[in-house]
Amino acid sequence: MNYFLFKLSFHTPCHFGSSDSALSLYTSEDHFCADTLFSALCHTARTLYGNSGVEALIEKAQKDQLFLSDAMPWCGERYYLPRPFLTARTDGHTAGAERKAMKNLAYIAVEDMADYLACMRGQGLFDAGRKKQCFGVPMDSTRAAVFEGQDTLPYHVGAFRFAEDCGLYVLAGLESDDAAWLRTLMRALGLSGIGGKVSSGYGKFTVDDEIYLNEPFDEQTAWLFRALCRDAPAYLLLTTALPDEEELERTMEDASYTLTRRGGFVSSDSFAPSGQKKREQFFLTAGSVVRRRFGGALYLAAGRTIRCIASASRFFWACPYEKAGTASAV
């Protein structure tokens, strides 16, 4: 498998809604999930190449020739991973306040992950108070809904604006070492935008860098590549994903996880003239830790003449962590 890192810089506010909240229009997450990206790439492929482009993309995912991670933050030269949902050993070194500070971290820098995992094993300290994270700021804007023959109605849209020298990156696993086709789709997607309210100019980005991780050039990219390839006692899930029915029981055995509800609306004139609600499903959240890799599948999120597919392909990062001894939740 060939691994690529796409580094994205956003030039407009972004609206990444959460289907977990009835107020998703009024708030925004600071990242988007892999199913959002896969759906957006399908839409872009149809715009560029027609239905054959969409079918080719779906076929790659079905044949395990394409894997996508959730979007994760970068700041300066540092890349971040979702904080693993693990239990910490109570060895007397980590005070309750420190464990709380660790729990409040949403992400761990790649270069800090070894220290974090060592702390969770009771083999060192991790000063979470010094790991301040600010990748941008939430914001709110007022929009106007205009209906023919009716009064204009104001409404609020929550958004997230990334700070200078911060953004998101995505990992992609490809069977081929030629990522030109994916690069074309990602750059075209950046022009149209990703997330909600793209018709209002939200979610536009440029691909600042494309890193071939199979040929790492520093300690950070080398560690990323090794962790994506090797076997380990546990695996950190980097994709909001769902095992298929046959894998579910085995995957959930001794796993540490949270669930998130995925849904939303289809935004495609070729699928439906107006927004159609997707079928809601529960997925394992990125940051969940499982003891076995799973395959996942593609799930039909909505369907008429043209299919609307949600990606649930998995992306794992080897997590050298053995659960033993007395533990407390972190």
The model carries a pTM of: 0.85
pLDDT value at position 91? Answer: 56
Q: What is the pLDDT of residue 263?
A: 62
50 alpha carbon, distance to own chain's centre? 26
The whole-number pLDDT of residue 150 equals 73
**With left for phi above 0 and alpha for psi between -120 and 50, is residue 325 left, alpha or beta?**
left
Q: Is the Cβ–Cβ distance between 224 and 113 less than 8 Å?
A: no
Separation between Cα atoms, residue 264 and residue 123, nearest integer Å: 43
> Residue 293: its pLDDT value, please?
87
pLDDT at 210: 95
Q: Chunked in runs of 10, what are the mean pLDDT values of the chain (330 residues)? A: 95 83 72 90 93 90 89 95 81 63 86 87 76 85 71 79 95 89 96 91 95 93 91 89 84 89 62 60 88 76 42 61 41
DSSP E strand stretches across the chain = 2-10, 66-68, 72-75, 78-82, 87-89, 107-109, 136-145, 153-162, 166-174, 205-212, 234-237, 259-262, 265-266, 276-277, 281-284, 289-290, 298-303, 307-311, 316-319, 327-329
Nearest of 44, 67, 81 to residue 194 by alpha carbon? 44
Number of residues assigned to the chain: 330
Q: How far apart are CA 97 and CA 91, in angstroms?
A: 15
* 291 vs 247: CA distance, rounded Å: 12
Radius of gyration of the chain (CA): 20
Domain total in the chain: 1
**Which domain covers residue 275, as residue numbers?**
2-329
* DSSP label of 111: G
Can you give the pLDDT at residue 325? 35
DSSP H/E element including 215: none
